[in-house]
């Protein structure tokens, strides 16, 4: 039995007439009659009772009609689902991000656009450090990750640079440099030579850590590091506690925290905070490809400079 036999039978049953069913199917009446008889022989039952002007279903035919419709509907659904999955319209996507990434306006914008454009995809968001996200990618626990530091060992991965933003000085609100407020004149990095720094733990984000240390060295001093925070957002808590100053991506200024003030930086060199998308190089998922394409397209049209000061 082939699927076409079921379609032929349904057409005849619904039309109640073999000639009209043949016209509906775009075929001749004799071949259709032969196919129906062949189906009856295969099932060893009579499906249709021939009448002077048409046909009617037997009891066995009525039983088959219900199941035949269900079978074809299920197959049509399976085909539709398969095609939509291949187009990246259905499936599951796990997106990771570092703790600072959601503060960059690009990330919530692209996530919202993806959800609006692909409502059939189950989207899961996971927060973690860069090192952990890279491991999660390699072990297929996440499909894509927004990170804020370049990957030292990108084997098996594709890391797409998206945007970058200036870094700000975060300092206790009672600090002398906070007197002018965030709208005051930017400070030269060399003015921080005597300050104690709170930094993002290097293991979690070596790129940002190294960029800050290198910028300080280029400004003529080696920073005195008092604390290393497990998350870049955690540095603000330590700054608010008066344990030092920190250089953070400018987008973190959106996080208004009591006891923390922000100042811009001037002169060169100035550390910059990148935003990157990491994915598995060999991933052939249509859902992942759709997400990557949207991220790249959005990045190309996103306003620049991003939150610079």
CATH of residue 74's domain is: 1.10.10.10
pLDDT of residue 298: 96
Question: Do 148 and 292 have their domain in common?
Answer: yes
pLDDT of residue 309: 39
Question: Do 130 and 185 have their domain in common?
Answer: no
The answer to whether 264 and 95 have CB atoms below 8 angstroms apart is no
**Domain end (from 58, 86, 114):** 86
61 located within any domain? yes
The more confident residue out of 45 and 308 is 45
* Percent of the chain whose predicted confidence (pLDDT) is above 90: 59
pLDDT 10s digits, 244-292: 999 999 998 888 789 999 998 887 777 888 999 999 998 888 999 999 9
Question: Do 282 and 144 have their domain in common?
Answer: yes
| Residue 121 backbone phi and psi in degrees, to 5 | -100, 130
pTM: 0.72
pLDDT 10s digits, 192-217: 999 999 998 777 667 778 888 888 99
How many folded domains does the chain comprise?
3
Domain residues for 46? Answer: 3-86
- pLDDT-based confidence at residue 300 (cuts at 50, 70, 90): very high
Question: Do 279 and 157 have their domain in common?
Answer: yes
Question: Do 154 and 289 have their domain in common?
Answer: yes
pLDDT of residue 307: 46
How far is residue 209 from each of residues 80, 95, 127, 198, 263, measured CA to CA in Å? Answer: 49, 24, 19, 10, 19
């Amino acid at each position: 039995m082939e699927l076409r036999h079921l379609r032929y039978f349904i057409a005849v049953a619904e039309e109640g007439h073999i000639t009209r069913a043949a016209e509906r199917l775009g075929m001749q009446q004799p071949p259709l009659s032969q196919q129906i008889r062949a189906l009856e022989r295969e099932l060893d039952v009579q499906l249709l009772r021939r009448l002077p002007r048409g046909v009617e279903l037997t009891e066995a035919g009525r039983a088959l009609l219900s199941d035949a419709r269900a079978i074809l509907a299920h197959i049509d659904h399976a085909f539709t689902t398969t095609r939509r999955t291949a187009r990246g319209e259905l499936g599951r996507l796990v997106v990771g991000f570092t703790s600072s990434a959601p503060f960059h306006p690009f990330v919530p914008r692209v996530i919202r656009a993806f959800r609006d454009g692909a409502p059939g995809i189950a989207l899961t968001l996971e927060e973690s450090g860069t090192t952990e996200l890279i491991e999660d990618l390699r072990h297929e626990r996440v499909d894509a990750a927004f990170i804020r530091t370049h990957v030292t060992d990108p084997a098996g991965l594709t890391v797409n640079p998206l945007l970058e933003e200036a870094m700000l000085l975060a300092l206790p609100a009672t600090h002398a440099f906070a007197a002018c407020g965030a709208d005051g004149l930017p400070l030269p990095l060399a003015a921080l030579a005597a300050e104690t720094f709170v930094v993002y733990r290097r293991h979690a984000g070596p790129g940002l850590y190294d960029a800050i240390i290198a910028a300080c060295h280029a400004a003529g001093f080696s920073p005195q590091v008092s604390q290393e925070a497990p998350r870049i957002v955690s540095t603000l808590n330590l700054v608010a506690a008066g344990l030092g100053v920190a250089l953070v991506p400018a987008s973190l200024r959106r996080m208004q925290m009591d006891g923390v003030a922000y100042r811009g930086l001037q002169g060169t060199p100035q550390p910059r905070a990148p935003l990157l998308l990491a994915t598995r190089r060999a991933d052939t998922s249509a859902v992942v490809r759709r997400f990557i394409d949207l991220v790249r397209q959005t990045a190309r049209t996103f306003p620049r400079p991003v939150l610079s000061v």
